[in-house]
Amino acid sequence: MGKIARTLFWIVLLIAGAVCQAQDDLSGSAASMKNFALPEYSKDNGRLQFILYGESARNLGAQILLVNPKIDIVKNDITNIQSIVSFASLQPYPLTWTAGQVADFWKNKGHSQAVIFSDSAEYDKNLRLLRGDAPVHFRTPDMSVDGVGFDADQDRKFVHIRSKVKIVIYPAARKRSGVGRNSADDKSKKEKK
């Protein structure tokens, strides 16, 4: 019986040591941040792609759990991070704003292509994907979109809003795209010439 007890003692000791080692390895993988701004750069060319702002975040390995995130998608020609206006306190404007109000909002934000606002989201640092199940507000100078749930992939330049989508496209964007023109208007213009 003494030999069995001694063997069990060593097995338990080895398991306890392995568990303690595993706990030590996990202790540094979780961290929290409050009122943060995290710039993300392209892996290919080092260009600033977006800035992730938020009220709080919890880093769990490759995942960052975000509370009240704002994602500022930066224009391709921005080379100086000092020229960027902080969006830390920015709130989404309502879909009911006029085109003039929207233009005024974007006047001093020339570095930004778009902003995504949500109540919560999860960012995968390895895949560089942002997703959330909460209400989301996507804002650009040309359009505003509200919905519930989203997936965003900066590398593919892709934003998918999953449900309850409402879109407002502003007149300047419609003019540039040709949306809203009909063939009768085009014929009458040709006849006048």
Q: What is the pLDDT of residues 104-120, one digit of tens each?
A: 999 988 899 999 999 99
Query: What is residue 188's predicted lDDT score, i.e. its pLDDT?
Result: 47
Q: How many folded domains does the chain comprise? A: 1
Whether the per-residue pLDDT at 34 is higher than 60: the answer is yes
User: Would 192 be classed as within a structural domain?
Assistant: no
User: What is the model's pTM?
Assistant: 0.72
Q: Is the dihedral of CA 126, 128, 129, 130 positive or negative?
A: positive
User: Would 138 be classed as within a structural domain?
Assistant: yes
Q: Identify the domain containing residue 89 by its residue range.
A: 31-186
Q: What is the mean pLDDT of residues 172-183?
A: 61
| Two structure tokens written together for 141 | 């100078």
User: Would 19 be classed as within a structural domain?
Assistant: no
Q: Is the dihedral of CA 47, 127, 165, 175 positive or negative?
A: positive
User: Would 167 be classed as within a structural domain?
Assistant: yes
Calculate what percentage of the chain has a pLDDT beyond 90: 36
CATH number of the domain encompassing residue 173: 2.60.450.10
User: Would 80 be classed as within a structural domain?
Assistant: yes
pLDDT in tens, 61-79: 889 899 999 999 988 888 7
User: Would 107 be classed as within a structural domain?
Assistant: yes
User: Would 10 be classed as within a structural domain?
Assistant: no
Q: Distance between CA atoms of 50 and 125, rounded to whole angstroms? A: 13
User: Would 8 be classed as within a structural domain?
Assistant: no
Whether the per-residue pLDDT at 150 is higher than 90: the answer is yes
Q: What is the mean pLDDT of residues 166-175?
A: 80
